[in-house]
Structure 1
C-alpha cells in the first residue's frame, strides 16, 4: 500500500469515533481487555513517561460518518482466526455452552500485534491469519473495516466499538506504538498511578460505561509487575426485525446432549426467512432492525447428525460457502428463550495455534517496550435471547508480565429442540461478531 493510500485510510477512519449513545431495551455487548505487565527490565522514568509527554488528541464528540470500502482480507483473516480459536476451545469444553466474540478478540490482538517484532510478530501473524499483509496495511484495513461496521442508519440496530490504553505513569512506552493504537484504533490513552487502589476502579468504570453496564469488572487488582492495560469494548444493540409474540411462547421439550428431555420456554413464529437446508443441518437467519444488516444465525444439526459432527465441519471455507446458500422461504421456527454465561482461559488454544513464543521469555514486543511477554488471555461472555431481542456481553483480558427460476419449496419447520450452533454476523462486511454452541439452554 503506498503512502497516499495509507494516509487516506487513516484520514477516513479518524472521521469516526467509537462511542455511541444508545437507548433501547435489548442489547448485545462485548468487551475485550488486553492486560499488559512487564517481563524483565522495562524502561522506567517516573518523571519522563512517554505517555505523559505525548499530547495525543482525545476526541469526545462524534465525528461525521463516512462510508469506506472494507478490505475483505481483514474480515476473512478475523473470521478464519475466530473459527480456529473456537475449534480449539471446543476441544476442552465439550460439556457446556460456549459463546465467544471472535471480532473482539481479533481487534484486541491486532492492537497487541503493533508492539510485536521479529519471530514473535511472525508467529502472531500466522495465528491471526495476517500473513501476506504488512503492518500499515493491517492497521488501515482494520480502520476501514471498523468504520464500515459503525456506518449504520438503522435506529433499531446500533453498534459501538471503543478502545482504550491505560498505562502506568512510571513507565515509558514506544511513542510509535501508542500513536498507531490511537490513530488506527482510536484508543483513548490515559496515564494512571497503578499503585493507587482506585486505578482498577477507573478502568472498570470505563469498561462498564462502554458496555452499558453489561461488563462491570475486568480488572480485579493491579499487581506490582503490571504496566499496561489495552482494552477493546464492543456494544451492539438491536431488536428483531419481526419480534416474537410473547403469547406464543410456551413450554416444550428440549433434548439435551445426553438425550434427556427437559421442559423449556420456546418462542414460536411464522414468516419469510433466509433459510438453508443440507443433509446435515437446517439453518435460518433472524435479522435485527429494518434492513437486516446484522442477523442471528442458527444452525440446527438434523436428528441423524449431532452438534459434534457439525463442529468438525465448522471452518471459514464451509462458512463462506453456506452463506451463499441461503434463500428466501416461508417457514415456522420454534426457538428456546435462553441465557448463558461462559469463561475460558485462551492461553493453551493460542499456543496451539502458533503463538507459544509470545507467552515465553523469548517473546519480542520491542515495538512496545523492553522485555514484554503475554502471561494470560482470559475471555468471559454472557448472552440472553428472548422475544424482543438479544443481550450479550464479553470481556477478554490479555495479561503481559515482565519478561435463476426455481420451484417454490414447501414451507420448512425448524424446531430447535436439541443442541445447536449460533452466530451473530454483520451481513454487510461479513464480520462474525459472536459465535457459540448451545448444549443446554438455561
Structure 2
C-alpha cells in the first residue's frame, strides 16, 4: 500500500515537472529567444499565466465598449492636439493606432499608473483579460475583409533591449492577444533604429519611413502599432470633372485648388451648424470617408466645441440617403506629433514620471516618449492612409424625400474614416490647407 502511494506521488511529481519544462520550452520557442544568452535575455524568470483564447471573451457588449472607449479617447486626444495648433496647419491622427499602442503598454502597468492609463483610455470597469480579449476580437473583425477594393492592415511589434529583463507573461500577452512581432534587439547597435524603421516602412506600404530617430541609453523598449488603409470609392470621381476652384483658408483668402466633383446618391446629414456627407469605399461600404463642413456663419473652432462621443454617435444616426452634388479638394498630407503633453493633460502624467509603476513589465520603468505619425491622400480613385504610434519605454534611473443638396467643400473642414460595421473611427483630422 505504501509502495503504491509512493508511486502515485512520484508520478504526480514527474508530471508537474514535465509540464513546467514543456511550458518553458513553448514560451521560449514562441518568443524566439531560445538561442539568446540567458544573462542578456529580455525574459525574466516568471511563471506563465493561464491565457484564454483571444475570442473566448468576445461578446457584443464588450466589443461595443471597446469601440466606444477608443472613440471617446480619440475625440479627447484630438481636442488636446488641436490646442497646440495655430489653425493654419493640417492635423490628422489615428486614435485607433494610439489606443492600440497604449493598450499594449497598459499590460505592463500596475497600481495608480494602471488606473491613470485606464482612465485616459476610457477603460474603467474592464479587467485586463476583458480588455485584451476584446482588442483581439476587434482587431480580427477589422482586418477580416473580402472586398478587393479595400485594404486594411494592422500590425503590432515589440522591440526589447536584449540587456534588460522583462516579465515573460507581459511579453507573451502582447504577442498572443495583439499578434505582435516580438524581437530582442541590441539597442547599442547603430543599426538598431533602422531595423525598427524598416518594419514601420514595410507595414505602412512605404508611406511612413521612420518613427525612431535614435535610441537613448536609458531606453529599453518600444511598443509600436502600424495601420495601413487603402480604399477605392464605391463611386469613383471622374478625373475629367476635376478642375481648379478657390479654397478659402482660415484667413479667408482664396487659393486655387484642384477640386473633384460628383453627382450621386449619398448618406447625408445637415444641421444648423454644418453639412455632413459619407463617401463609402468598395462594394459593401463597410468603410466610409466622412466630411463635416461648417456652415458659412460658423467655423471649425465652433464645430470642435461639440465634437465628442455623445454627439458623434447621435450624428451617425441622422444620416439618410439623398441625391446631391459634392465638390471637394484632392489632397495629400502627412503629420507627426509627440503626444507626451496631450496624454499628460488627459491624466497619464504619472506614467511619464519616475513615480510610474510598470512592474508588470519590468523594474524601474516609465514612458519616455509617445510619437505619432500619419499620412493621407485623397484623390479621384479613393483614399490611402497610414499611421504609426510608438511608445518608448525607458528606465527611471534615466429613403429620398428631400431635395438635392449642394455641398461645396471650399474652406477648412473636418474629416474621418470610420468602420461602419463596428463604429470604430480609424482616422480623423482637420484639413486647413489641402495643398
Does the Cα contact within 8 Å between 2:44 and 2:168 map onto a contact in 1?
Answer: no
**Structure 2 counterpart of 1:91, from 83, 86, 89:** 83
**Superimposed CA distance per residue, residues 102-153 of structure 1 (whole angstroms, 9 cap, x where no aligned partner):** 0000000000000000000001111000001011000001111111111111
- Aligned to 2:345, the other structure's residue is in SS state helix
**Superimposed CA distance per residue, residues 168-189 of structure 1 (whole angstroms, 9 cap, x where no aligned partner):** 1121100110111011101111
Pair 1:127 & 2:149 matched = no
**Structure 1 counterpart of 2:428, from 429, 432, 435:** 435
**Superimposed CA distance per residue, residues 5-61 of structure 1 (whole angstroms, 9 cap, x where no aligned partner):** xxxxxxxxxxxxxxxxxxxxxxxxxxxxxxxxxxxxxxxx8625144999x9xxxxx
2:26 alignment counterpart: none
TM-score (norm 1): 0.84
1:166 alignment counterpart: 159
Call closer, same or farther: CA 1:381–1:50 in 2, change over 3 Å: closer
2:249 alignment counterpart: 256
1:192-207 to structure 2, matched below 5 A, reads: 192-207=185-200
**Structure 2 counterpart of 1:305, from 277, 281, 298:** 298
2:344 alignment counterpart: 351
Cα RMSD for the two superposed structures: 1.8
1:176-325 to structure 2, matched below 5 A, reads: 176-325=169-318
Does the Cα contact within 8 Å between 1:333 and 1:415 map onto a contact in 2?
Answer: yes
After TM superposition, where is structure 1 displaced by more than 6 Å over at least 4 residues in a row? none
Q: Which has the larger radius of gyration?
A: 2
Q: Distance in 1 between matches of 2:253 and 2:42?
A: 60
1:364 alignment counterpart: 357
- Give how far 1:325 is off: 0.5
2:333 alignment counterpart: 340
TM-score (norm 2): 0.85
- Give how far 1:398 is off: 2.3
Q: Distance in 2 between matches of 1:242 and 1:109?
A: 36
- Give how far 1:341 is off: 2.0
* Greater helix fraction, Structure 1 or Structure 2: 2
Pair 1:148 & 2:141 matched = yes
1:29-40 to structure 2, matched below 5 A, reads: none
Q: Distance in 1 between matches of 2:159 and 2:45?
A: 15
**Structure 2 counterpart of 1:73, from 47, 65, 69:** 65
Q: Distance in 2 between matches of 1:376 and 1:170?
A: 20
Gap runs ≥5 in structure 1: 1-44, 57-66
Q: Distance in 2 between matches of 1:356 and 1:196?
A: 31
Q: Distance in 2 between matches of 1:52 and 1:270?
A: 61
Q: Distance in 2 between matches of 1:338 and 1:280?
A: 24
2:389 alignment counterpart: 396
1:400-419 to structure 2, matched below 5 A, reads: 400-403=393-396, 408-419=401-412
Does the Cα contact within 8 Å between 2:42 and 2:160 map onto a contact in 1?
Answer: no
Does the Cα contact within 8 Å between 1:46 and 1:170 map onto a contact in 2?
Answer: no
Pair 1:175 & 2:168 matched = yes
Call closer, same or farther: CA 1:50–1:343 in 2, change over 3 Å: closer
